[in-house]
Homo-oligomer: A and B are copies of this chain.
Amino acid sequence: MAKSKYEYVKSFELADHLLPHTWIVVRIDGRSFHRFSKDHQFKRPNDEQALRLMNECAKAVMEDISDIVFAYGVSDEYSFVFRKTSSLYERRSSKLMSILASLFASTYVMKWSQFFPDKKLQYAPCFDGRAVCYPTEAILLDYLAWRQVDCHINNQYNTCLWMLVEAGKSSEDAQKILKGTQADYKNELLYTQFGINYSTLPEIFRKGSSLFRRKEEEIVKFKDGLPIKRIRSKVVVEHCDIISQQFWEEHAYIIS
């Protein structure tokens, strides 16, 4: 039973290293989460607890993998940005994407009861992953802007849809009313029919969630009654505008 006789099968494993010196983005996406949301009675159009659970998982991923410098989440998807010069797992695409999809999903189960203490998790959630390289900062920021624009468009649409449904329309009728309408029309509809000022809705719904590290001064112990402080880098969650340049100018250290 010679080991070597079969070892040749390893040669079928082809290399999949990602281009060096580019921004690797791994995006994970809930598999069949439309059904998952229904099966777990997530609130419509947004379930804040479900979103906070997603954020908590993303935070755990970032705390585990220090090469991730930024993450952005909306709905059942999350994008993780690796620093440009990362050589984690030799930049092997399969390793990076599978580990993130795997760690995110198992953390989701681990933390479920913290966010849904009264709801049983009925089956194992699953996320797919993909890895994409962006060659410049400008294009990376366009990628993130793309996701935040998507967040905005989907949230505005879904908010209108569910208000109409709650007001008694069938789902089909509500969709017909909204079909092809512009942002202004939807804002107007929310305001005049339902008294909702869209811009005052919670930012977590309208802006999605951005995770990044912030240096914070922290008391680590007391010595002779005096606090000993240390600068610590902490992953924070914010719901801010990442489309405008302002955020990136104020947090230039994130992608520099």
Binding site for B on A (CB under 8 A): 1, 3, 5-17, 19-22, 28, 31, 60, 93-95, 97-99, 101-110, 121, 123-136, 139, 142-143, 145-146, 149-150, 152-153, 183, 243
- A150 vs B130: C-alpha distance when bound (angstroms): 30
Residues of chain B with a CB closer than 8 A to A7's CB: 146
CB distance from A186 to the nearest CB of B (A): 13
Given A1-B149, A19-B22: A31 and B99 within 8 A (CB)? yes
Q: Assess the B136–A135 pair: CB atoms within 8 A.
A: yes
- A198 vs B10: C-alpha distance when bound (angstroms): 29
CB distance from A45 to the nearest CB of B (A): 19
Residues of chain B with a CB closer than 8 A to A133's CB: 12, 19, 135
CB distance from A237 to the nearest CB of B (A): 18
Smallest CB-CB A-B distances: 9 pairs: A98-B129, A6-B146, A135-B135, A15-B15, A109-B109, A105-B106, A98-B101, A106-B124, A101-B102
Q: Assess the B110–A123 pair: CB atoms within 8 A.
A: yes
Q: Assess the B6–A14 pair: CB atoms within 8 A.
A: no
Q: Assess the A149–B105 pair: CB atoms within 8 A.
A: no
Residues of chain B with a CB closer than 8 A to A149's CB: 1, 3, 6
- A108 vs B18: C-alpha distance when bound (angstroms): 30
- A150 vs B132: C-alpha distance when bound (angstroms): 33
Residues of chain B with a CB closer than 8 A to A8's CB: 142
Given A14-B19, A17-B14, A21-B136: A6 and B105 within 8 A (CB)? no
- A103 vs B123: C-alpha distance when bound (angstroms): 10
Q: Assess the B142–A6 pair: CB atoms within 8 A.
A: yes
Contact of A21 among B1, B131, B135 (CB under 8 A): B135
CB distance from A46 to the nearest CB of B (A): 20
Contact of A98 among B125, B127, B146 (CB under 8 A): B127
> Would you mind naming 19 contact pairs between A and B with Cβ atoms under 8 Å apart?
A1-B149, A3-B150, A9-B143, A10-B146, A16-B93, A21-B135, A94-B97, A94-B131, A95-B130, A98-B98, A98-B127, A101-B101, A102-B105, A102-B128, A103-B124, A106-B125, A107-B124, A110-B124, A133-B135
